[in-house]
């Protein structure tokens, strides 16, 4: 396909996938969140225009232990969801959960969804270890969550509308999923830095520091490689010495474990205390004694 044909093809995918009938909500519904003058009642009314299945998942995530540090008590209104998690996080969650529901019982799509959530959780932890401010760590988290949304949309289009279309192969998805993600960023008024996240294929530097998209890419690539090598698990090796139960509770490995458990992804994390050696430790070549 030439460029015009590819653009037309992406137009078709966007038109077929990003609509009320497919997603369970009209994209325009979320425009209310962009209005800085929108009141609590106006934001609360959004939930009436989103499918119950999506809402249940959004509330479940908002009330998970993962977000306990940014809220007090149980969240019971959609307005509280938005004020607690943030407008952009809520938008991306609604979109990605709608795609997840469409992909029901599809193992490949489930793993892609899980991988993006794992990238979000691990990316935020990585950003904090780099000394980033909390708001920037949250941007890394959002980048991880959004990272595979173009891939999910293209694969779902093929599954629902074009199962025999040979144009949609692995190469096509890898090359053009960022261009579809770019369209979603524009359509849903998401932050521009997400474009750099989906288009970057390496660590991104700016003068004397690694950018938000650079750290996000580190997390995404590490998670993807770990899922590939270790059968859909993020594997972390913990070299910490044995410590008291109190110290263990605040160790980085435990913090990571708690974060994954809090969002219901504990089974996708494996922490190794030490790797078994295949051979004994090398002690140097023994010199032969020469008789005189």
Residue whose pair of structure tokens reads 């499918």 in the numeric block:
51
Residue 245 has a pLDDT of 53
Residue whose pair of structure tokens reads 């109190």 in the numeric block:
246
Euclidean distance between CA atoms 211 and 203, whole angstroms: 8
- In this prediction, the residues of the chain whose per-residue pLDDT falls under 70 are 65, 68-72, 242-250, 276, 286-292
8 Å CB contact between 15 and 7:
no
8 Å CB contact between 176 and 163:
no
8 Å CB contact between 1 and 26:
no
Displacement of CA 120 from its chain's centroid (Å): 4
Report the chain's C-alpha Rg in angstroms. Answer: 22
Residue 236's DSSP bridge partners are 271
Residues with Cβ < 8 Å from 174, sequence gap 6 or more? none
Q: pLDDT tens across 185-201, in order?
A: 999 999 999 999 999 88
Residue 288 has a pLDDT of 64
The structural domains of the chain, ordered by start, are: 3-272 (1.10.3210)
Residue 253 has a pLDDT of 84
Residue 11 has a pLDDT of 96
What distance separates the 2 farthest-apart alpha carbons in the chain?
Answer: 98
8 Å CB contact between 108 and 155:
yes
The tokens for 57 are 């998942």
Residue 289 has a pLDDT of 64
Q: Using alpha carbons, select from 32, 67, 73 the residue that is nearest to residue 189.
A: 32
Euclidean distance between CA atoms 41 and 263, whole angstroms: 29
Q: Degrees (nearest 5) of the Cα angle 140, 142, 147?
A: 95
What DSSP string runs through 225-284? HHHHHTTS-EEEE--PPP--HHHHHTSHHHHHHHHHHHTT-GGGEEEES-PPPSSPPP--
Residues with Cβ < 8 Å from 192, sequence gap 6 or more? 185
């Amino acid at each position: 396909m030439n460029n015009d044909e590819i653009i037309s093809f992406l137009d078709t995918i966007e038109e077929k996938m990003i609509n009320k009938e497919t997603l369970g909500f009209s994209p325009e519904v979320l425009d209310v969140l962009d209005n800085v003058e929108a009141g609590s009642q106006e934001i609360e009314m959004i939930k009436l225009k989103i499918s119950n299945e999506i809402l249940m998942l959004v509330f479940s995530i908002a009330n998970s232990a993962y977000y306990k540090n940014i809220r007090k008590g149980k969240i019971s209104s959609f307005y509280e969801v938005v004020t607690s998690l943030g407008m952009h996080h809520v938008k991306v969650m609604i979109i990605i959960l709608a795609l997840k529901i469409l992909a029901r019982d599809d193992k490949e799509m489930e793993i892609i969804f899980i991988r993006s959530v794992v990238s979000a959780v691990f990316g935020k932890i990585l950003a904090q270890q780099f000394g980033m401010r909390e708001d920037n760590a949250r941007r890394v988290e959002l980048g991880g969550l959004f990272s595979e949304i173009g891939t999910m949309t293209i694969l779902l289009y093929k599954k629902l509308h074009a199962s025999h279309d040979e144009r949609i192969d692995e190469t096509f998805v890898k090359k053009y999923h960022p261009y579809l993600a770019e369209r979603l960023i524009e359509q849903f008024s998401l932050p521009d830095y997400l474009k750099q996240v989906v288009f970057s294929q390496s660590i991104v530097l700016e003068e004397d520091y690694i950018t938000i998209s650079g750290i996000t890419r580190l997390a995404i690539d590490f998670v993807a490689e770990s899922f590939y090598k270790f059968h859909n698990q993020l594997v972390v090796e913990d070299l910490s010495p044995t410590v008291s139960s109190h110290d263990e509770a605040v160790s980085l490995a435990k913090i990571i474990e708690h974060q994954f458990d809090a969002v219901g992804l504990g089974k996708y994390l494996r922490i190794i205390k030490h790797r078994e050696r295949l051979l004994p430790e090398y002690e140097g070549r023994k010199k032969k004694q020469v008789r005189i």
